[in-house]
Structure 1
Amino acid sequence: MPRGRGRVPERLRAAPAALVLALPLLLGAGPGGSGETIPLTGREPGERLDVTLTRLVDPADATAAAAATVDNRLVAVRFRLENTGSVVYKDSPASCAHLLDADGRRFAGLNTDTTAGAAFPETVTLDPGGTTEGFVTFHLPDDAALAAVQFALNGGLADDVGQWSLS
């Protein structure tokens, strides 16, 4: 289950993978479980989202429609997004999320439905105060050991990055 949380400062976003994976410990993030909420800001004034990792499904089975395109393991991560900002949030949660493995590899999120639940739509639009939930799916090699999940607004390009440790 997920534990620990933290933010990845801008100056460390391109840091070596070992440092990025150890960052929650360096920031003093304590143990915890799913349900942890991290407030994140975007690149534009008024963009603010509370992001909660609510569930991790590993492995996640592909739906019949997606099964033909899956040749490795799927991991599905359920997020709850709440717009706590003053402007409309419009973004693709799949492009905002990344999964890191213990070898430092980074996997991009996808809008693939699994039997764990429905993926977010390609684009989510939330008025201030609005909330939505959905899954982001990751294709990983069968032997990949999960280390962390990251989420950043603006298609993953915002400087404010939330991280949940999975190890």
Structure 2
Amino acid sequence: MFQHTRIRLAATAAAVVVAAVGLTACGAGADDEIVDKPKTKASAAGKGQEKNEEKGGKEDAKDEGKGSGVAKVGDTLALKGMDSGSGLDVTVKKVVDDAKSSDEFFTPESGKRWVGVQFELVNTGSKAYSDSPSNGAQIVDDQGQQFPSVIAEITAGPSMSSDVRLKPGAKALGWIVFEVPKASKTATVTFAMDSGFAQQVGEWKL
């Protein structure tokens, strides 16, 4: 009986550890680096920033005036993974608010709606990329509430695969779906490599 009690306590402790890891993956940590500058203007390496500094900051002022300093739909962000040599160019291609289900038997819960975001991933690293991209994506509303992705098929187009494998230079395209309250106003969509565990988090304004 004593042995059974020890086994039960060990199982409980393991469950607590798994739950803690899951919570860490879903939320952005204090040490995370938010990447929101489009690659064409300023990549994660800061090349665009260096050019602007050489011009006396004129380009920065111009971008701020147009509100184009932060990544938006259509922009590409260069992100890095946890492993050395892993990297992606991530582009938010399209967004469909109140997306329609392609399956009449599977629709959003009462009081909620689906928001579809089409992502393009290009492996810019020196090693193969293998992950379930939807695990690292979230939508955030104007109140700061975060909503993870859901498994759903929408009429806008094919979903992003749950098992994406890309050799260096290869790309993947697909929709990731999020379920949010009908009253919520979406503000940003975020993406991080390694199922959300990577330190760099890409952010696009919706």
Please confirm whether the aligned pair reaches a TM-score higher than 0.5, indicating the same fold: yes
Q: Secondary structure at the match of 1:155?
A: helix
Asked if structure 2 preserves the Cα contact closer than 8 Å seen for 1:111 and 1:120, the reply is no
Asked if structure 2 preserves the Cα contact closer than 8 Å seen for 1:10 and 1:160, the reply is no
TM-score with structure 2 length normalisation? 0.65
Displacement of 1:150: 0.3
Q: Secondary structure at the match of 1:109?
A: strand
> Which residue matches 2:122?
82
Displacement of 1:82: 0.1
Identity score, percent: 35
Asked if structure 2 preserves the Cα contact closer than 8 Å seen for 1:51 and 1:82, the reply is yes
Q: Any idea what the Cα deviations from partners look like across 1:138-158, whole Å, max 9, x if unmatched? A: 001111100100000000110
Displacement of 1:103: 1.2
Q: Select 1:142's aligned residue among 156, 172, 182.
A: 182
Question: Structure 1 residues 150, 33: CA separation in 2 closer, same or farther (over 3 Å shift)?
Answer: closer
> Which residue matches 1:42?
81
Question: Structure 1 residues 99, 142: CA separation in 2 closer, same or farther (over 3 Å shift)?
Answer: same
Equivalents in 1 of 2:147, 2:71: separation in Å? 23
Equivalents in 2 of 1:94, 1:32: separation in Å? 19
1:131 equivalent to 2:171? Answer yes
Q: Any idea what the Cα deviations from partners look like across 1:9-30, whole Å, max 9, x if unmatched? A: 96364xxxxxx8xx88xxx762
Question: Structure 1 residues 57, 129: CA separation in 2 closer, same or farther (over 3 Å shift)?
Answer: same
Q: How does 1:58-73 map to 2 (within 5 A)?
A: 58-64=97-103, 67-71=105-109, 72-73=112-113
> Which residue matches 1:5?
none
> Which residue matches 1:113?
153
Q: Which has the larger radius of gyration?
A: 2
Higher helix fraction: Structure 1 or Structure 2?
2
Equivalents in 1 of 2:103, 2:140: separation in Å? 27
RMSD of equivalent CA atoms: 2.4
Equivalents in 2 of 1:126, 1:76: separation in Å? 23
Aligned length: 147
Equivalents in 1 of 2:185, 2:117: separation in Å? 15
Equivalents in 2 of 1:38, 1:107: separation in Å? 21
TM-score with structure 1 length normalisation? 0.80
Asked if structure 2 preserves the Cα contact closer than 8 Å seen for 1:112 and 1:137, the reply is yes
Displacement of 1:110: 2.5
Displacement of 1:109: 1.5
Q: Any idea what the Cα deviations from partners look like across 1:32-83, whole Å, max 9, x if unmatched? A: 6422000000001111000000000001001125x43521200000011000
1:54 equivalent to 2:103? Answer no
Asked if structure 1 preserves the Cα contact closer than 8 Å seen for 2:87 and 2:123, the reply is yes
Q: Select 2:199's aligned residue among 150, 156, 159.
A: 159
Asked if structure 1 preserves the Cα contact closer than 8 Å seen for 2:142 and 2:186, the reply is yes
Could you tell me which runs of 5 or more consecutive residues in structure 1 were left unpaired when the two chains were aligned: 1-8, 14-19
Equivalents in 1 of 2:151, 2:160: separation in Å? 6
Could you tell me which runs of 5 or more consecutive residues in structure 2 were left unpaired when the two chains were aligned: 1-27, 38-63
